[in-house]
Amino acid sequence: MKRTILQNRVLYVGFIVCLPILLNGCFWPFTAMDGELVRTRKTVSSAASTETEETLPEGMDAETKEEELQSLPVEPDEELPAPAPLELTAPVPEEPEAPIPEEALPPAPEEPIALAQKTPTAPAPEEPIAPAAEEVEPAAPEEAVSPTPEVPVTPAPEEAPVVEEKKASIEDAPRLAEKYPGLATGILSQAVLQDLGSGDLLSSGDISITEDSFNEALSKMPEEERKADDPLTFDVFEHMATKILLARRVKEETGVTPEDPAWEGAMQAYYDKVAGPAKTTEEEAAAFYLENKDLFADTPFDTVREELRAYLGEERQKAAFEKHLRNYGKEVPVKVHGPWVAQQAGRFKNNVIDKALDEGKPLLVDFYAHWCGPCMHMKPTLEKLGNQYADVLNILFIDVDKHTVLAKRHRADSIPLLLLYDAKGDLVTRLEGYQEETELMRELQKVGVQ
């Protein structure tokens, strides 16, 4: 019996000592992380202490244990420290605390390593198949892209050079004023010379002037005017083009058509916008008065000041608008039929003024009308000077009622108008209004007439 109890006690102590290790073996898979490892230690130590105090050997309950203890005779040699093993159980939680990290921590890295090796072994090489799919996917867009460039590639080289050639031909084509100086004075100065070849004399966007329509307009002119200015047919053509091109510009900007009652107002508004304000300063009027004091005789400046300012303002507006017309072809593409223009340029020099300039002498041109009082009052003086200096000076009288085209060409809007050219054919002086003989002689001296 004594031997049995000792055996049972040994088993009991061994069970108690091994129980934490067994528990540690059961919970170690959950100790992979440091935080979980701490909780496992606490659980194991508390479980060990609890079981040490309360657990009995297997197959023995408390009543049996008491009966056995009571049945044993008390012997003096018997070591009562039998419960000592029970007291030794107290340090049991301390003993497993030291070995637990040593036994649990080494396996902790082994298990994740095993898991890391097992997890990527099969899928790891198989996952790179995704790039293979990516390589196939770009192949599809490449096949789709390849036809798209091929379609435009063929027409692109064919059309692009054609457009470039057209642009180059327009830019390289001569301008009318460059090839035929003096022929165009207004809106066709910067027109491009090209062979339109379709019966058109002018082409600009949606506008065209055909040779038939122009000849019809010529036939409506008075026969006397048409014969007098026959060499200046191009001037009639330019005047016609000016009306049509400006009408399109005003219609685009205002929406008003020539049939609209507000058309004249729209044209005047366009003129004012282009020409700018007509006002001039008093200083400008005074300077003009001093430079042309002979024109005003003994009239004080204060008397003619406002009239001078209005006159100079109008002249400034005219000059600005004429400049706008001469540069119109730079802003809006205008093409004219080159062969027809060449014919008109050959006939242009047959007008009376250019024929007189070909004589190589200074020329004084007088634009007049029989109904103009100052013109008729100044005409005898001019005739006298013409006879007096006939060897070195030519004087030409132009009736604005007969030579309407020539008068428009030289802007004879107010008469009398005197134009003085030197022997080279260059314009030296432009005088408007009545001129005294002394003033005329002063101007003639500028061209060598003494």
Burial 392-414 (b: 16+ CB within 10 A, else e): ebbbbebbbeebbbbbbbbebee
Q: Which two tokens stand for residue 397?
A: 């009288």
Same domain, 184 and 238: yes
Tell me, yes or no, whether 285 lies in a domain.
Answer: yes
Please give the Cα distance from 396 to 398 (Å, whole number).
Answer: 7
Token pair for 152: 């435009």
Same domain, 314 and 406: no
SS3 category, 372: coil
Q: What is the pLDDT of residue 67?
A: 60
Same domain, residue pair 225 and 362: no
pTM of the shown model: 0.57
**pLDDT in the model for residue 63:** 59
- 319 lies in the same domain as 367: no
Q: Using CB atoms within 10 A of its CB, is residue 192 exposed (0-12), middle (13-18) or buried (19+)?
A: buried
On whether both 382 and 233 belong to a single domain, the answer is no
Give the Cα separation of 277 and 313 in Å (integer). Answer: 7
Task: Give residue 221's pLDDT.
Answer: 85
User: Same domain for 323 and 426?
Assistant: no
3-state secondary structure 212-272: HHHHHHHHCCCHHHHHHCHHHHHHHHHHHHHHHHHHHHHHHHHCCCCCCCCHHHHHHHHHH
CATH number of the domain that 257 lies in? 1.10.4030
Write out the E strands in 74-226.
192-194, 200-204, 207-210
Residue 226 contacts by C-beta under 8 Å, 6 or more apart in sequence?
A: 218
User: 274: domain range?
Assistant: 173-338
Residue 62 falls within a domain, yes or no? yes
pLDDT values of the chain reduced to their tens digit, one per residue, 450 residues: 444 444 555 455 555 555 555 555 444 444 444 434 344 333 333 333 334 444 445 455 555 555 655 555 544 444 444 444 444 444 444 444 444 444 444 444 444 433 333 333 444 444 444 444 444 444 444 444 444 444 344 444 444 444 444 444 456 678 999 999 888 989 999 999 999 988 999 999 999 999 999 999 988 888 877 787 788 899 999 999 999 999 999 999 999 999 999 999 999 999 999 998 877 888 998 998 888 777 777 889 899 889 889 989 998 998 999 999 999 999 999 999 999 999 999 888 888 998 999 999 999 999 999 999 999 999 999 999 999 999 999 999 999 998 988 898 888 888 999 999 999 999 999 998 888 898 899 999 998 888
Report the domain count for the chain: 3
CATH code: domain of residue 400: 3.40.30.10
Q: Are strands 335-337 and 192-194 parallel, antiparallel or unpaired?
A: parallel
User: Are 306 and 434 found together in one domain?
Assistant: no
Distances (CA, A) of 320 to 267, 271, 316, 317, 427: 16, 10, 6, 5, 20
- Tell me the C-alpha to C-alpha distance, in Å, between residue 77 and each of 73, 74, 80, 81, 87: 11, 9, 9, 11, 21
Per-residue pLDDT reduced to its tens digit, 381-396? 999 999 999 999 999 9
pLDDT at 60: 53
Burial class (CB in 10 A: 0-12, 13-18, 19+), 367: buried
User: Which residues carry out catalysis?
Assistant: 372, 375
Query: In this predicted model, what pLDDT tens digit does every residue of 321-351 receive, in sequence order?
Result: 999 999 999 999 999 999 999 999 988 888 8
Which amino acid, 442? R
Query: How high is the pLDDT of residue 78?
Result: 45
Q: What pLDDT does residue 250 have? A: 94
The answer to whether residues 391 and 373 touch, using CB atoms and an 8 Å cutoff, is no
Bridge partners, 430 (sequence order) = 419
